[in-house]
Amino acid sequence: MANRTRVTASGLYKRKGRKPHYAKVKDARGKWVEKSFGTDKRTAEAMLARYRNEAELSRAGLTDVLSMDAPLEVIRDRYVVELRTSGKSAQHVERVERSWRRLFAAFPSLTTVRHLATDIVLGFRSSLVSHGLSHGTVNNAVGHITGALRWAEACQIIGRNPVGQVKRLDREGKHRRRVRRALTPAEIEKLIAAGRAEDERLYRRVTRRTPLMLILIETGMRRNEAASLRWEDIVETPDGFELRVRAERTKTDEARSCPISGELAAEILGMRSEGAPILGRLPRDDDPVFPSREGGGLTGWALRDWLHRVIERSGVPIKTAEGVVDFHTFRTTLATDLVREGVDHHTVMAILGHRDPTMVRRYYADLELSPKRRAAEQVLRRRREEA
């Protein structure tokens, strides 16, 4: 004990010249070992008590405490391998890895499952919110962490998930970061006309992009889903034409088919030759329907820039009290129209590729709110006029 300083009656001590608290404890095998429990005295006492309790349960055959010493990086890596093996998209895997990088950057001393507690995850969540991320993005990031631990628990890699009780942040009401409004039929026609005019201005330099906007209007696809379409994804069936969305390009990692009108199919197929000057050859089946100038798929930046010019040309207000207009607006518009027509929410989920029913119920709530908002605005306008 010459090089040790006794700290507490619980058995914690410090080594000379070192900050962590140590203790001699009996592990799950009944063997005495020296363990480090961190630099904070109160936290170290709590961790020591928990370790002793779990070790005792483990020796009684009631839990596996050794697995709680599993390195988090190992669990992350094994989880990523499992995601790839099960066919999850490269995008999803990258998002999971990014969330883990953020966690380790926020808590550099975090190494094993034992060190990961609910307050750590809550602190991680708060740091993401403080950096301006939306509640939806934060929920996804935290979900990538807790999802890996749920998987590890189910596979009996760890004895228990230490953060299984963390609840998701509210995404509704004042926490909705970007509210999109539904377009009127007249506004849609204005945008289509402006899109064709913009395509004419860019003629021969890039492929037409109005057909992509028409796809969003008819199918409610996400922008990236439509931009990543290949010629082989346009399929003619006995019931007509449909566009097949690949699983690796969706947020839910689930493939789906979207029926389109014969008129839209004819317009899309009619522009296939437009890719020849860009590619230097006739497009093949595995080439993108909407190639960039470099021959790859269109980027989000290029499409947003095009849409902003189209909105400005059309005269449609980009922002009102009901929300903003962007590519996701076409998805909101289709969902609103489906709800207005009395389509049940399960069918709406299938059409839009939603997995969370909360996302669809939002459209029902917005539809009820819109008449109230318009009535309130009408009263305010009349009061201002009378004043």
Of 346, 313, 341, 355, nearest to 182 by C-alpha is 341
Look-up: residue for tokens 């993005």?
137
- Does residue 213 share a domain with residue 75? no
- Give the burial string for 74-97 (b: 16+ CB within 10 Å, else e): ebbebbbeebeeeebbeebbebbb
- Does residue 136 share a domain with residue 279? no
The H or E element containing residue 15 is strand 13-15
> For 343, how many CA atoms within 13 A lie in the half-sphere containing its CB?
18
Q: Does residue 152 sit within a domain?
A: yes
Q: Does residue 301 sit within a domain?
A: yes
CB atoms within 10 A of CB 360: 20
Residue 383, pLDDT score: 60
Quote the CA–CA distance of 284 and 275 in Å, as a whole number.
10
- Does residue 114 share a domain with residue 202? no
Q: Which domain holds residue 105?
A: 69-175
Q: Does residue 180 sit within a domain?
A: no
CA 236 to chain centre: 32
CATH of the domain at 373: 1.10.443.10
Residue 15, pLDDT score: 81
- Does residue 218 share a domain with residue 115? no
N residues, the chain: 387
Residue 373, pLDDT score: 47
Quote the CA–CA distance of 194 and 276 in Å, as a whole number.
25
CATH of the domain at 85: 1.10.150.130
- Does residue 152 share a domain with residue 94? yes
**Structure tokens, 71:** 């390195």
Give tens-digit pLDDT for 270-324.
988 887 887 888 889 988 898 887 767 777 778 888 999 999 999 999 888 788 8
CA 332 to chain centre: 17
DSSP E strands in 238-334: the ranges are: 240-245, 256-259, 319-320, 323-324
Residue 141, pLDDT score: 92
Residue 372, pLDDT score: 45
pTM of the prediction?
0.58
Mean pLDDT of the chain: 82
- Does residue 325 share a domain with residue 198? yes
- Does residue 169 share a domain with residue 103? yes
For the chain, the domain total comes to: 3
- Does residue 37 share a domain with residue 74? no
> What parts of the chain have a pLDDT lower than 70?
1-8, 61-67, 171-178, 204-205, 295, 356-384, 386-387
